[in-house]
Amino acid sequence: MTPAGRGRLGAWPLGDGRYAFRLWAPDAGQVALVLDGEVHPMQPEHEGCFFLEASGSSGTPYRFLLDGQVQVPDPASRWQPHGVDGASALLPDDGHAWQSRWDGRPWQELVIYEVHLGCSGGIAGLMAQLPALAAMGITALELMPVAQFPGRRNWGYDGVFPYAPAEAYGHPDALKALVDAAHGHGMAVLLDVVYNHFGPQGNLLDTYASAFFKRDAPTPWGEAIDFTQSQVKRFFVDNALMWLQEYRFDGLRLDAVQAITPNAFLGELVQAIREGCPGRPHVHLVLENERNQSRWLRGDYQAQWNDDVHNALHVMLTGEVEGYYADYAGRAPQLLARALSEGFAWQGERNHKGELRGEPSADVPPQRFVVFAQNHDQIGNRAFGERLVTLVPAAHARAALALVLLLPMVPLLFMGEPWQARQPFLFFTDYVAPLDDLVREGRRREFAGFAAFADAEQRQRIPDPNARATFDACRVMLPAAGDADADAHLAVFTELLALRRRYLQPGLAQARSLGARVLGRHAVQAGWQLPEGQWWIAINVGESEVELALPDGALVWEQQPAAAGRIAAGSVRVHWVAG
């Protein structure tokens, strides 16, 4: 029986073919369970819940009948075999026989590889890649959201059934098999979850549980969720516990938590997860939080994605200053230096929109930040989904990757990045009319404020998110045997990870900043004290050499040779000062 199965919303196995069905429907007077075509009245409970125990078998379809008129699928359905508009189906919790003995991996060992299942050939395709990824030095997968979404193609952030793995990826047990296989290769598996909104197609909660949403606080993606409601909070707490307990994920990345209000729910969630996963010290909880709220990083949340490092570095690399890069215009190296030495670049100052952003973070240990030169957002938010290697010289792209891997923070790579894959990552969906047209034109309007797309004709060049070709262009498989360019990139990648394991990983938790300084418009250096010595790194993504100010020490790595006391253009240099 699933732990705590009797109290959860949804349909949970109780053993011996019995299931507990519970729906929160405060706007309904009567609710009945329609199980395999048979109608069973449900009993009202507290707070607008309705409950029933009944017998069924794996795959048995069911819906809920509201006030004798409308049938709806289960919003906490754990299996939607026919998509967002189909019936829910019963799912046992013992369908997969776990093979790997796994105690998790400590946070300081993680080298995270963010991946979209569909673009990796589905579950089977990604499973086939696991041996090669492990051999490269990847120690953790991070799956973009897998919750049931409309159609066959989606980034995953338009999910409407948070408990049900998307049927486009196969049976839910196949997802468990993927986690199991990754564990067998020594890799932790994190899951990106979306608790701030539901997608625009297939969500019927508003028809019988209107209190689920806040009318006065919309998000950029849809109606805000009301986290003052106890049943709403339970819905998402139990969802997190399901992924961690039943699917044995090693952690969760919480998407855009700035849109979760009241924010206090984050504290309740992390406490429930720690209490619900006893004996599992290596459950990692990571935030994406535009507000840079360092308060959450001094407690049980493991880390936050550090957009400031990426954004400042990207402006230094490309010179782009439109959109959110405007915050870094004219001061990118100063903000990168601050992010490297203090965690966040924005710690309470006003951004270019006049909005206060961030909290002081200088006391937060470096390992509490996840750093990246690319991720799904930073590539996919571009009109044509270009990767960094197609925007800047190859040496500069390699320098950005080297910086990410050699910082005493936790690195994240986007799928294909270790070998500098060139496939774009475009925004793609699979909506039906009229939503398909609305999404396509809405996507193109998003770029009207950018100089390159001020002209309507230019905006028509932006790929149609609903076109199958848009999705197909984003597929990333392992490089072919004999691909000399990919082999060269992977050789450097594995070399850098070997240095990381030798110098940074053992003392990562004790790393403390020794400060950072700007070397020029495109160059920065920073240092950290580790238990066995000092680690100093400099990066130059400009077009000419600049003078260094690194302390004397062993030269650990240099991307491009330069004269003494200088760093070459498109290069990273690392010193180790023992003792």
* Catalytically annotated residues: 255, 288
Secondary structure letter of residue 502 according to DSSP: I
Rounded to an integer, what distance in angstroms lies between the CA atom of residue 344 and that of residue 409? 13
Cis check: omega of the bond before 262, within 30 degrees of 0: yes
Rounded to an integer, what distance in angstroms lies between the CA atom of residue 139 and that of residue 118? 21
Residue 422 — left, alpha, or beta (φ > 0 → left; ψ -120 to 50 → alpha)? alpha
The answer to whether the beta carbons of residues 63 and 74 sit under 8 Å apart is: yes
The answer to whether the beta carbons of residues 196 and 225 sit under 8 Å apart is: yes
Query: For the chain, how many residues are written?
Result: 579
Rounded to 10°, the helix 172-184/122-136 angle is 10
Question: In angstroms, what CA-CA distances link 122 with 112, 168, 183, 340?
Answer: 19, 8, 18, 36
DSSP 216-228: EEEETTEEEEBTT
Rounded to an integer, what distance in angstroms lies between the CA atom of residue 10 and that of residue 130? 33
Nearest to 120 by CA among 401, 414, 419, 420: 414
Alpha helices, DSSP H, located in 420-571: 435-445, 456-459, 468-472, 484-499
Q: Cβ-count burial of 529 within 10 angstroms (0-12 exposed, 13-18 middle, 19+ buried)?
A: middle
DSSP-derived 3-state class of residue 66: strand
CA distance between the termini of the chain: 54
Secondary structure letter of residue 204 according to DSSP: -
Both tokens assigned to 241: 């516990």
Both tokens assigned to 202: 């297939």
Ramachandran angles phi, psi of 557, nearest 5°: -160, 140
